[in-house]
Amino acid sequence: MRIFAVSDLHTDFAENRRRLERISSTSYSQDVLVVAGDIADHLKIIEWTLRKLRSQFGAVFYVPGNHELWVRGGECDSIEKFRQVLRLCDEIGIYTRPGRAGKNWIVPLFSWYESDYDQQKEADVSSLEGWADFYFCKWPVGMGSVSKYFLDLNESRIKEYDGPVITLSHFLPRRELLPAVEKLIFKGLPLVAGALALDRQIRALNAVTHVFGHSHIDFDQVIEGVRYIHHAFDYPREKGWSKEPLTQIWGSVEQSKTDHLREEM
């Protein structure tokens, strides 16, 4: 058994759906996939994508990203949309709760971003004018802190597990996981990128690896004993789109060499 990671599938793009379909339907039947959010905002596309992944992998763990919580029209708010996605996962057999993966435990952590992630207050606020979440996310009246709401949902999962713990979230838990503002194309990103309180939960779980998404800036580094990994599927227009669609985060070295990622042509 191997464990693979990916985020930001964005299968509302036809090119990304075709790319997903090219991933082998037989090579990963004994393996686990960890998906760190941002599949799409339309429920039908989310469902198609999750069913496709479930047919390709032995098990799939997933947390919704910000795109999944967009609502168009007045049919529901973003919290109800979140619950709809979780119900859909239960129906399909996608893990959004802690579960075993061989000797490991995989613990999904829900999250949202906070402005204090921009610790040095370097981000360009003016660049957020077109940030889609501000237009498509609809929160219940009187909800309070969105980030706290999602972090509170994780509290029952913060406990001791009888094996190595791999956590996943969509948003970033540490500022070091994002380049300095001057190196970013989108200068306002630190204001809508992560939540520092999320890392406290990761470390309370004694996680050995944390998989995250959202930034579309790939990352794989150990910081203070935890390996942080981001491997985005990317938008079709992005430079990294031609890379391997998934990254292996756990499994034997020899297996990695002899049975590496491949796509059916």
Candidates 3.40.50.720, 2.20.28.160, 3.40.50.300, 3.60.21.10; CATH matching 3-258: 3.60.21.10
Nearest to 107 by CA among 62, 151, 58: 62
53: left (phi over 0), alpha (psi -120 to 50) or beta: alpha
Q: What is the largest CA-CA distance in the chain?
A: 55
Mean pLDDT of 115-140: 94
Is the pLDDT at 254 greater than 80? The verdict is no
pTM of the model: 0.93
Percentage with pLDDT > 90 across the chain: 88
Question: pLDDT tens for residues 57-70?
Answer: 999 999 999 999 99
**What is the pLDDT of the chain when averaged over all its residues?**
92
Where do the domains of the chain lie? 3-258
Q: Can you spell out the DSSP letters for 10-56?
A: -TTSHHHHHHHHTB-SSTTTT-EEEE-S---SSHHHHHHHHHHHHHH
d(CA 129, CA 229): 29
